[in-house]
Amino acid sequence: MEKIKLDIIALSHSVTHSHNYAIILGVQGGTKRLPIVIGGFEAQAIAVALENMIPNRPLTHDLFKHTLEVFNIRIKEVIINQLLEGVFYSVLICEKDGEKYSIDSRTSDAIAMAVRFNAPIYTYSSIIEIAGVDMDDGFETKQEKEEEKKKPKSKTHSLQDLDVKALDALLNKALEREDYEKAAEIRDEINRRKK
């Protein structure tokens, strides 16, 4: 099976699963995205590593990384190797003294460790075919988004002028466009109204 390299594109609240998050992985050099729903603690573990934050006390993933390093074990890559009944499964490919080892892992933990070891993340083409989402049609690149921001704005309604149903629709569109700044602004307006 062909291995496909993935990049972390975004980490956001899950639209379909309340109290969960979604990590969006993108096929390197392609338009396919692989959204994976993860829990809050796992999202925090990934976000802390992505932002190079150093917590006062090590998180579990930091402890595991330090332990592996003490024993001269490196994580060389992460492979999202199975998708069964909507659940992604992964392996950590580790190396010690020239020997390679494969360790089963939850995908969220595997990604958290990949970020800490600066290890590449892969999956197989068969998984992309099943669970991948094509973002080519109707989605802007970062450059197009920047150009759009520079254009003079026509008079539009403010978020306060819209009802909750319209805000929900606007939120979904912002998430589809991967405009997370706008999505956060809309989410905050919806939350303000629920209080």
pLDDT higher than 90, residue 7: yes
**103 and 153 in one domain?**
no
Domain count, the chain: 2
**95 and 117 in one domain?**
yes
User: What is the reported pLDDT for 78?
Assistant: 98
**160 and 116 in one domain?**
no
pLDDT higher than 70, residue 140: no
Segment 151-175 mean pLDDT: 68
Alpha-carbon distance of 195 to 186, in angstroms, equals: 15
Taking each helix axis from N to C terminus, what angle separates 40-50 and 107-117, rounded to the nearest 10 degrees?
10
pLDDT higher than 50, residue 107: yes
Maximum C-alpha span of the chain: 64
The percent of residues in the chain predicted with pLDDT above 90, rounded, is: 47
Domain with residue 12: its CATH number is 3.10.690.10
Here the tokens at position 188 are: 């905050």
CA distance to 26, 169, 186, per residue, from 145 (Å):
18, 20, 18
> pTM value?
0.67
**158 and 80 in one domain?**
no
**45 and 9 in one domain?**
yes
**39 and 88 in one domain?**
yes
pLDDT higher than 70, residue 136: no
**158 and 101 in one domain?**
no
User: What residues make up the domain containing 113?
Assistant: 3-134
Alpha-carbon distance of 3 to 24, in angstroms, equals: 18
Q: Measuring CA to CA, which residue among 10, 31, 34 is closest to residue 21? A: 10
**162 and 126 in one domain?**
no
**167 and 106 in one domain?**
no
pLDDT band for position 123 (cuts 50, 70, 90): very high
pLDDT band for position 143 (cuts 50, 70, 90): very low
User: What is the reported pLDDT for 40?
Assistant: 86
